[in-house]
Structure 1
Amino acid sequence: MFRHIVLFRVRDDVTDPDVSAAIDELRAAGNAPEVTAWTVVPSLDTRKGRIIVQDGTFGDRCAFETWRAGETHRQVARRMAGMADWWVGDWSTDVP
């Protein structure tokens, strides 16, 4: 399995409706056949600002790379680049 976790720190000037629309778009990005599990939620802890948590699982790295190269991912990445900074954690659960 391959895990892909992203923490999006939404910029302070972004409106709540724009955040909601982004969450909807991020959730839709998990509807690809390469995705085996997908969660997108706002963080309950807002001490450091508004954070969107994206947690994805793929069968393997190849499936992830196929998904990442797709148009849906490119579109949502462009949207998020305009409204957030983010940190990514990727790893394979097959590697100790």
Structure 2
Amino acid sequence: MIRHVVLFRVHDEASEEDVDAAIDELRSLASLPSVQWWRVERSSDIRKGRVIVEDSSFASEADFAEFRRDPKHLAVGEAMANISDWLNGDYEASSEMSD
């Protein structure tokens, strides 16, 4: 299993409407066929500004690669670049991980 965790640091000038729309767009990626598990939330810790957390998993490297190439993912990534910067962590995890 591949875990994919992204922290989006929203630009200070982005409106709350932009953030809400971005969260909706990120959540829509859960419907992609390669996604095994998907969650998007606002971070409750705002000491470093507004942060959107994307936490997801994929059954295999091939599924994750398929996700990364998907046109819908690419479009959402482009939109996110307009309102945020991000860091991601991708790693192989045990399939026995609990949610």
TM normalised by structure 2 equals 0.93
Percentage of pairs with the same residue: 45
Post-superposition, which runs of at least 4 consecutive aligned residues in structure 1 deviate over 6 A?
A: none
Aligned to 1:67: 67
- CA shift, 1:85, in A, is 0.5
The CA deviation string for residues 12-69 of structure 1, in whole angstroms up to 9 with x for no partner, is 0000000000000000012111111000000000011000000010001110100110
Aligned to 1:19: 19
Aligned to 1:35: 35
CA distance in 1, matches of 2:2, 2:60: 5
Aligned to 1:88: 88
CA distance in 1, matches of 2:81, 2:70: 17
Aligned to 2:7: 7
- CA shift, 1:93, in A, is 1.3
CA distance in 2, matches of 1:87, 1:24: 19
TM normalised by structure 1 equals 0.95
Aligned to 2:79: 79
Q: Which secondary structure state, in structure 2, belongs to the residue aligned with residue 49 of structure 1?
A: coil
List alignment gaps of at least 5 residues for structure 2: 95-99
List alignment gaps of at least 5 residues for structure 1: none
Aligned to 1:47: 47
CA distance in 2, matches of 1:34, 1:70: 9
Aligned positions, number = 94
